[in-house]
Amino acid sequence: MISITELRGIPAFHDLEPEPLGYLASTVEDIHLLPSEYFVHEGDERALFVVVEGRAELTKVVNGEERVIGSRKPGQFFGEVPMTLSTNFPASGRAMGATRILRLDAKVFYTLAAMAPSVPAFIASLARRYLDSLQQMASEQPTPDATLIGPRVDAAVRELAGFLTRNHVTFERVVPEPGAHPSAYPILELRDGTRRSSPSMREVAEAVGLAVEPTASEYDVVILGAGPAGLTAAVNAAAEGLSTLVLEGFAPGGQAGTSTRIENYTGFPFGISGDDLASRALTQAKRLGAEIVVTRIAECLDPGAVHTITLDDEDTLSAAVVIMATGVQWRTLPVEGVDRFLGNGVYYGAARSDAALAQGQDIIIIGGGNSAGQAAVFFSRHARSVTILVRGESLAASMSRYLIDQIEHTQDIHVETHSRITALYGETHLEAVGVTNTATGATVRRSLPVLFVMIGADAVTEWLPSSIARDSHGFILTGGDAAMPEGWAESRRPFDLETSIPGVFAIGDVRSGSVKRVAAGVGEGGMAIAFAHQYLALRANNR
């Protein structure tokens, strides 16, 4: 607790009367920070901070990078703008060394202001100066990391745009002049002017500075997949001091990362996009020390006292604990000739980066789940019309009520029940589809260039050893379901998220019986690390 004498040493409080000083001393938060420890994050609710000892620096994410925008020394404040304008924090604050700060929440500040009017007047003058610097920063034009050159409708261009977007790489898109040779695309031009034609995703990742190689060969925990479940496991494992590696084949976020708006995730009363949620989890995992590697997949898992993982370039890793968080892949559309239109009018899944495909077009979304509903609401802001096709009688059986309500109140979204796609038409690009009403048998041909397919998803687990038990659909069995006589040799029962191989856990959508919701995956990610600690303790005791 800070003393009145110490408070008088702060210039803004030096001339205050004993009563307000006594009030401050009895109510203010006295916080001691370690070097690099944050005391506030961009977007946090308003408060007022003053440095007592040490130094603090202010940071802000500008053009995708955290930039130091200022510092505070003893006697200086931070939070004057949020407190004056009743807004959230526009920047973050962290200790530069061992630092002591005071925190005044809004209630304390306004009570103090009533007792000593000089304080809010002083804070308001600081806010005006700080706003000038923020306005200058906001006027800066973002400098992209790369330029993507290619046709608007092209499978490889779309994939690369999605990869860059979901890995939070800033880029500009340039559509080439008509008549340019199409076999050269996509072209990625970097900041230094170098160009790469039709690069692989790993080449792109290396070019823009993403991690594509593990830094070690042994880890406490290796997590396969960087969806919400995998990233949550990484956050918890790294926070608890376990050496942690996350392997992701494409980009962090998993299927949830493509969701344009998640409305039912606790803590975000106005919803959050899957991409934003993944970005926050990724930043958190990295800050806590987890290693995230993209464009790498596991091709073989050899169970043992220490599990061995073989990667796609035959490199090997070892880990005491392996967590399967590989999610699922979209189910393909069972229509003749569909492969001919993939990326040229037919797309599996949908993301915010696909807005350009829908712009001004009539589009169809096949599917009745939440992902389809979220995509429909988002694309209705870009497309001329959005039609959702479902085989059943309504959306109620598979979609959350909040999404159904949004769809019903959006004029440009139409829902057609008892309907399915039975034909695709076009030469090089999709031009029309055949829609069959399963109740009447009538088929109608409709001209449209864009079709998004979200008809369910399957687990991709064929590469796993046969000793990992799976259900009839390929999803991984865990807990009691994994404790089959022929597949479990331990005297103990498996932990709830443990597979039929001790020390290998499955979480999220790839797990048999999982609830296909982001919050459920996040919960399982945290639980898996709790079980991993118990497993590691048993393993250590048995040595």
Q: Quote the distance between the C-alpha of residue 411 and its chain's center.
A: 30
Q: What percent of the chain has pLDDT over 90?
A: 56
- Asked whether 103 and 83 are in contact (CB, 8 A), the reply is no
User: Computed over its alpha carbons, how large is the radius of gyration of the chain?
Assistant: 27
- Asked whether 395 and 369 are in contact (CB, 8 A), the reply is no
Which architecture characterizes domain 338-456 according to CATH? Answer: 3-Layer(bba) Sandwich (3.50)
pLDDT score recorded for residue 523: 95
- Exposed (0-12), middle (13-18) or buried (19+): which is 183, by Cβ within 10 Å? exposed
pLDDT score recorded for residue 141: 58
Helix (H, G, I), strand (E, B) or coil at 195: strand
d(CA 126, CA 502): 59
pLDDT score recorded for residue 485: 57
pLDDT score recorded for residue 462: 95
Q: Which helix (H) or strand (E) holds 454?
A: none
SS (H, E, C) 248-317: ECCCCCCHHHHCCCECCCCCCCCCECHHHHHHHHHHHHHHCCCEEEECCCEEEEECCCCEEEEECCCCEE
409-440 core/surface letters (b: 16 or more CB in 10 A; e: else):
eeeebebebebbbeebebeeebeebebbeeee
- Asked whether 522 and 485 are in contact (CB, 8 A), the reply is no
Q: What percent of the chain has pLDDT over 70?
A: 95
When pLDDT is averaged across residues 313-322 and rounded to a whole number, the result is: 94
- Exposed (0-12), middle (13-18) or buried (19+): which is 3, by Cβ within 10 Å? exposed
When pLDDT is averaged across residues 257-269 and rounded to a whole number, the result is: 80
Which among 54, 42, 35 is positioned nearest to 94, based on CA atoms? Answer: 35
**What confidence tens digit (pLDDT) does each residue in 27-50 have?**
889 999 888 888 998 888 889 999
- Confidence class of residue 490 from pLDDT cuts 50, 70 and 90? confident
Structure tokens of 283? 């930043």
Helix (H, G, I), strand (E, B) or coil at 33: strand
pLDDT score recorded for residue 432: 96
pLDDT score recorded for residue 441: 93
pLDDT score recorded for residue 287: 86
CA dihedral 190, 193, 199, 204 (to 10 degrees): -20
Class of domain 146-207: alpha beta
- Confidence class of residue 140 from pLDDT cuts 50, 70 and 90? low
Which among 56, 9, 19 is positioned nearest to 37, based on CA atoms? Answer: 56
361 has pLDDT over 80: yes
Which among 76, 117, 110, 101 is positioned nearest to 2, based on CA atoms? Answer: 101
Cα-Cα end-to-end distance for the chain: 48
Query: Domain spans of the chain?
Result: 4-138, 146-207, 218-328+459-541, 338-456
pLDDT score recorded for residue 352: 81
Equal fold, 4-138 vs 146-207:
no
- Asked whether 434 and 308 are in contact (CB, 8 A), the reply is no
180 has pLDDT over 80: no
Q: Which residues pair with 324 in a beta bridge?
A: 224, 506
Residues 234, 277, 45: CA angle, nearest 5 degrees: 105
When pLDDT is averaged across residues 505-510 and rounded to a whole number, the result is: 96
pLDDT score recorded for residue 521: 93
Q: How many residues does the chain have?
A: 543
What is residue 462's DSSP assignment?
T
CATH of domain 4-138: 2.60.120.10
Could you identify the residue written with the tokens 């993209």? 294
Helix (H, G, I), strand (E, B) or coil at 112: helix
139 has pLDDT over 60: no
Which architecture characterizes domain 218-328+459-541 according to CATH? Answer: 3-Layer(bba) Sandwich (3.50)
pLDDT score recorded for residue 138: 56
**What confidence tens digit (pLDDT) does each residue in 368-412 have?**
999 899 999 999 999 999 999 999 999 998 899 989 999 999 999
